[in-house]
């Protein structure tokens, strides 16, 4: 093997990006969301990048694999993954009960795999989608992702209201708690991005209020715009069946109404509305249970949490085999993650639903090409080699500085929530 192709350097840069005060089942988003940017550089100077959710625990683990990754051939992903698996103990590597996934190994796989694919794409002068087998579509559709939003802590820090802001920029700065405010949020977001499906992040208020918001959205948008609600497993099965029935025929799917595969299966049997998950079937080890119990209709893949783009392609195959629909989950992210999501979304054969993205909520970028543009709710697959996006090194420096200044080391929405509601605690099941 020519030495030139092997990985010489691995750079891990934690960043903090401004995030609005979005409410969810676990509390309130902090003023900054943490991400980590990984850059691998080969001996002959080819650089590959990736972006993953940031936390000190994952960053520390990434530091421990630098020696493992350097010296490897970015084309030999199977071998690299094997080496990483031997290095990071899967023991005590738990997803956790929050809406997001905390496992270190899947984050690390994703970080290294995507950066390697960026390199190998550049070597072959092909976009990442071609390394995944080629495009099934030129544009990838996304859904509007609505959030209840509350001033007082969270994202207000670092956000001063801009009196001249218009359209989506203004809506992003406004509080939204009532159904009519959620409808307005949807109208502005859909107008600006052209989204043709809408998801509401629930698990914030009593189900009665959230169902009211869904019905208000239906009234405002009509049956042509598919709607989804995601209470992030905060409902008990009776609540889910009761409120699920009020939304029969209105929702495209109900996402994680309850916690665990057994409860999901029970609710699924009682409702006609399809159920989706990014909380109960979240790894290949969960697939047998999913099939045995029948816990969901749709699996939301996420390359950061399923261990990379190729794993998600394998999941797509399995989902198809077992009659599961496939879509995509998201957390607060920037353009490197979005680029990877779009390459994957274009390569997946059966993309049954518009994908999730938090992207419209973000106001900062780390890619030199500037923010991605959405047309009719979809993003064009980048056609440059690799991911087709490059690092804006100045922006990376600024966001890294911001990381040090904000002093956050992991996502903790409960602490932010307690700033506006002292004593508030995250309950895995609330209603
Ligand atoms: O960012 O508040 C959020 C979301 O609640 C996120 O953490 C979830 O992981 O979007 C996610 C979901 O679909 O469950
Ligand atoms: Mg979800």
Cα(22)–Cα(199) distance, rounded to whole angstroms? 14
Q: Are residues 139 and 85 in the same domain?
A: no
State whether 141 and 182 are in the same domain. yes
Same domain, 192 and 102: no
Domain extent for 328: 131-380
Asked if the structure places residue 189 within a domain, the reply is yes
**Do 12 and 93 fall into the same domain?**
yes
Same domain for 119 and 235?
no
Q: Check whether residue 110 and residue 143 sit in a common domain.
A: no
Closest CA to ligand 1's atom 14: 99
Tens digit of pLDDT for each residue in 30-51? 999 999 999 999 999 999 999 9
Tell whether the model's pLDDT for residue 110 goes beyond 80: yes
Residues 158 and 52 both lie in one domain: no
Radius of gyration over every alpha carbon of the chain, rounded to an integer in angstroms? 21
- CB of 19 closer than 6 A to ligand 1? no
List, for residues 232-243, the tens digit of each pLDDT value: 999 999 999 999
Residues 101 and 197 in one domain: no
Cα(297)–Cα(294) distance, rounded to whole angstroms?
8
- pTM for this prediction: 0.97
Q: H-type helices in 237-286, by residue range?
A: 237-246, 261-270
* 355-374 confidence digits (pLDDT tens): 999 999 999 999 999 999 99
Share of the chain above pLDDT 70, in %: 98
Q: Is the CB of 331 under 6 A from ligand 1?
A: yes
Does 297 contact ligand 1 (Cβ within 6 A)?
A: no
364 & 396 share domain: no
CATH number of the domain to which 95 belongs = 3.30.390.10
CA of 202 to the centre of ligand 2 (A): 9
Indicate if 419 belongs to the active site: no
In angstroms, what is the span from residue 28 Cα to ligand 2's centroid?
Answer: 15
Tokens, residue 110: 């994703």
- Ligand 1: does its nearest atom lie under 6 Å from the Cβ of 305? no
What residues are paired with 425 via a beta bridge?
A: none
Same domain, 71 and 185: no
In this structure, the answer to whether residues 194 and 111 fall within a common structural domain is no
Q: What is the CATH classification number for the domain harbouring 354?
A: 3.20.20.120
* Same structural domain, 26 and 159: no
Distance CA 317, CA 347 (A): 12
Domain count, the chain: 2
Return the best residue to mutate from 28, 99, 254, 280 for the ligand 1 pocket (most ligand atoms within 8 A of CB).
99
């Amino acid at each position: 093997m020519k030495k030139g192709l092997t990985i010489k350097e691995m750079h891990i840069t934690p960043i903090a990006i401004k995030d609005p005060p979005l409410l969810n089942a676990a509390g309130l988003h902090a003023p900054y969301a943490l991400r980590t940017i990984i850059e691998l550089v080969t001996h002959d100077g080819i650089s590959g990048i990736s972006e993953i959710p940031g936390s000190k625990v994952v960053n520390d683990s990434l530091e421990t694999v630098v020696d493992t990754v350097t010296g490897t051939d970015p084309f030999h992903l199977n071998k690299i993954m094997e080496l990483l698996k031997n290095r990071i103990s899967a023991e005590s590597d738990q997803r956790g009960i929050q809406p997001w996934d905390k496992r270190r190994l899947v984050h690390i796989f994703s970080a290294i795999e995507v950066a390697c694919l960026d390199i190998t794409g550049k070597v072959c002068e092909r976009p990442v989608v071609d390394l995944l087998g080629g495009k099934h579509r030129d544009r990838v559709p996304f859904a509007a992702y609505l959030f209840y939003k509350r001033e007082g802590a969270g994202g207000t820090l670092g956000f001063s209201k801009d009196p001249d802001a218009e359209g989506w920029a203004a809506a992003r700065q406004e509080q939204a708690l009532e159904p009519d405010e959620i409808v307005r949020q949807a109208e502005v977001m859909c107008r600006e991005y052209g989204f043709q499906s809408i998801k509401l992040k629930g698990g914030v208020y009593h189900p009665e209020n959230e169902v009211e918001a869904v019905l208000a959205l239906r009234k405002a948008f009509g049956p042509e715009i598919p709607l989804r609600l995601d209470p992030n497993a905060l409902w008990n099965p009776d609540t889910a069946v009761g409120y699920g029935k009020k939304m029969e025929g209105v929702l495209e799917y109900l996402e994680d109404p309850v916690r665990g595969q057994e409860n999901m299966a029970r609710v699924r049997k009682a409702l006609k509305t399809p159920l989706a998950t990014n909380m109960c079937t979240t790894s290949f080890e969960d697939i047998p249970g999913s099939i045995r119990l029948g816990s969901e209709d749709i699996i939301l893949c996420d390359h950061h949490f399923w261990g990379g783009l190729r794993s998600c392609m394998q999941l797509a195959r399995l989902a198809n085999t077992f009659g599961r629909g496939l879509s995509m989950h998201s957390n607060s992210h920037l353009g490197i993650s979005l680029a990877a999501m779009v390459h994957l979304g274009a390569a997946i054969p059966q993309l049954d639903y518009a994908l999730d993205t938090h992207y419209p909520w973000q106001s900062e970028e780390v890619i030199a090409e500037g923010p991605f543009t959405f047309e009719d709710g979809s993003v064009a697959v980048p056609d440059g080699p690799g991911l087709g996006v490059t690092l804006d090194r100045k922006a990376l420096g600024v966001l890294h500085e911001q990381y040090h200044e904000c002093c956050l080391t992991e996502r903790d929405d409960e602490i932010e929530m307690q700033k506006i509601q002292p004593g508030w605690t995250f309950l895995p099941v609330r209603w």
